[in-house]
């Protein structure tokens, strides 16, 4: 097939998918014995067809997402002629394949798949990611039936409230506002597509299906469809609110989650955002590489940061709070200086979490995760995902780095305010001198959200749900 039998630590196996410019092969990771899926793209063809930005957008977006219902990208390897995208292997194939022989699903099966789809969408939208091409071909199934969202080649990364303009997606699943050539809300467009999928799962056929594209778009813009006779009133009520042609009155994800039909046997799934840094250097390197043999991407490590600040912190005349306390408005990261021992600082974090009604779990000696204590009222879930890491720079000087990866900004601000108060009060009580050294906030942006470039069409198809962009 023109490919080497080994790519780095991966042993290539049989082809499990093939598109116009790409193949997807099953591969074995020789270091742990686990299977992965490797998408192999012809670099020359990608460049020639101006798909570089689209491929890079898909890779970057999927690297930023870590959820049990979203396909993960492990790494990207580039050679002189090929780009190898190493992904999580999902053995069950596309949801579309199962729908071909299953026809329609039972209510329980359809609801479970829809719940997982909504959780994945909720996770993406909270991070400013809008898929824009949701359909059964882009939803994979694991061997245990877990749904996995894939193919982010047409996705958009935007700040909350920003409107989109590029018309994209698959005709039968596209929202009316895209047909009318208006700017649109990416979240509302994804919700519409999810409603079409739910209808198809329960009915065994699409709500909008015409041989003529103009006739199809007319029905979509007017939301003209007919429920099969076996649909229950609860199903009809929910789908009618999802397939609302007016995006302003269309049901939102939080409202879907509160729905009684949706709530039955519902077990929420949340993102697994860790505190490890996400490195995107290999994305550009894959396109720029001219070497046939590539080594594994190495994560840079820095050991000088803390040591340098340990020396500075030894001076009693220096107030480090101006250096440590900062907030990133986009990513919601905050660093706060603490003039206490690391043990005292950890206790103060726990106390601040309690004040903000958050549950705390330590992930190691100096790092902890905080989540909202779940109070379910028909599943109105108010959740937050905060991590805090304490870095010791001197025996009585620490830095607390707080980051919010998901959830309500209000809860995050409450926690930061409580922690700042806890640290300041303790400092004032322990030493009169420290009263004049209260922590002052110095806000500056430390990183920007990447604005992904949009594309009008997708020319690559993949038969197993692993996007070839």
**Residue 343 CB neighbour total at 10 angstroms:** 12
Nearest to 37 by CA among 28, 46, 49, 50: 28
Q: Which residues are catalytic?
A: 133
Nearest to 259 by CA among 244, 277, 239: 239
Q: Say which residue the tokens 């998901």 belong to.
A: 406
Cβ 391 vs Cβ 401: under 8 Å: yes
Cβ 36 vs Cβ 89: under 8 Å: yes
Cβ 141 vs Cβ 98: under 8 Å: yes
Q: Say which residue the tokens 């197993």 belong to.
A: 464
CA distances from 95 to 110, 197, 423 (A): 11, 10, 51
User: How big is the CA angle at 173 (ends 457 and 150), to the nearest 5 degrees?
Assistant: 70
Is 39 labelled as part of a ligand binding site?
yes
User: How big is the CA angle at 371 (ends 365 and 372), to the nearest 5 degrees?
Assistant: 145
* Rounded distance between C-alpha atoms, residue 240 and residue 235, angstroms: 8
* Rounded distance between C-alpha atoms, residue 188 and residue 162, angstroms: 12
* Rounded distance between C-alpha atoms, residue 8 and residue 343, angstroms: 43
| Cα 161 to chain centroid, rounded | 18
**Residues of the binding site for ATP:** 39
**Residues of the binding site:** 39
């Amino acid at each position: 097939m023109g490919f080497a039998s080994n790519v780095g630590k991966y042993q290539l196996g049989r082809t499990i998918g093939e598109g116009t410019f790409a193949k997807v092969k099953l591969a074995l990771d020789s270091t742990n014995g686990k299977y992965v899926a490797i998408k192999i793209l012809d670099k020359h063809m990608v460049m020639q067809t101006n798909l570089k930005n689209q491929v890079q957008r898909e890779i970057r977006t999927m690297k930023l997402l870590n959820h049990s219902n979203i396909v993960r990208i492990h790494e990207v390897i580039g050679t002189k002629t090929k780009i190898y995208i190493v992904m999580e292997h999902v053995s069950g194939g596309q949801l579309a394949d199962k729908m071909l022989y299953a026809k329609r699903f039972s209510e329980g099966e359809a609801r479970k798949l829809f719940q997982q789809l909504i959780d994945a969408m909720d996770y993406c939208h909270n991070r400013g990611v809008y898929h824009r091409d949701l359909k059964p071909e882009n939803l994979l199934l694991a061997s245990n039936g877990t749904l996995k969202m894939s193919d982010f080649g047409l996705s958009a990364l935007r700040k909350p409230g920003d409107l989109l303009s590029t018309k994209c997606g698959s005709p039968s699943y596209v929202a009316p506002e895209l047909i009318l050539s208006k700017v649109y809300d990416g979240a509302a467009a994804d919700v519409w597509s999810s409603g079409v999928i739910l209808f198809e799962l329960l009915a065994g056929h699409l709500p909008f299906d015409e041989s003529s594209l103009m006739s199809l778009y007319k029905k979509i813009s007017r939301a003209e469809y007919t429920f099969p006779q076996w649909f229950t009133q609860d199903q009809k009520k929910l789908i009618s609110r999802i397939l609302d042609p007016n995006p302003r009155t269309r049901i939102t994800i939080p409202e879907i989650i509160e729905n009684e039909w949706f709530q039955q046997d519902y077990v929420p799934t949340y993102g697994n955002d860790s505190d490890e840094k996400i490195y995107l250097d290999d994305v550009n390197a894959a396109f720029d590489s001219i070497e046939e043999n590539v080594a594994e991407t190495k994560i840079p490590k820095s050991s000088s940061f803390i040591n340098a600040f340990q020396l500075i912190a030894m001076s009693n005349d220096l107030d480090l709070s101006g250096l440590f306390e900062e907030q990133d408005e986009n990513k919601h990261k905050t660093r706060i200086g603490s003039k206490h021992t690391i043990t005292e600082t950890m206790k103060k974090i726990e106390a601040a979490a309690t004040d903000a009604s958050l549950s705390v779990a330590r992930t190691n000696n100096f790092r902890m995760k905080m989540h909202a204590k779940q109070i379910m009222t028909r599943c109105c879930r108010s959740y937050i995902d905060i991590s805090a890491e304490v870095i010791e720079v001197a025996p009585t000087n620490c830095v607390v780095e707080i980051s919010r990866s998901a959830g309500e900004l209000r809860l995050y601000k409450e926690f930061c305010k409580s922690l700042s108060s806890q640290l300041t009060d303790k400092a004032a009580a322990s030493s009169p001198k420290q009263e004049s050294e209260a922590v002052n906030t110095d806000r500056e942006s430390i990183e920007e959200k990447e604005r992904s470039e949009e594309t009008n069409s997708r020319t690559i198809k993949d038969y197993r749900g692993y996007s070839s962009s």
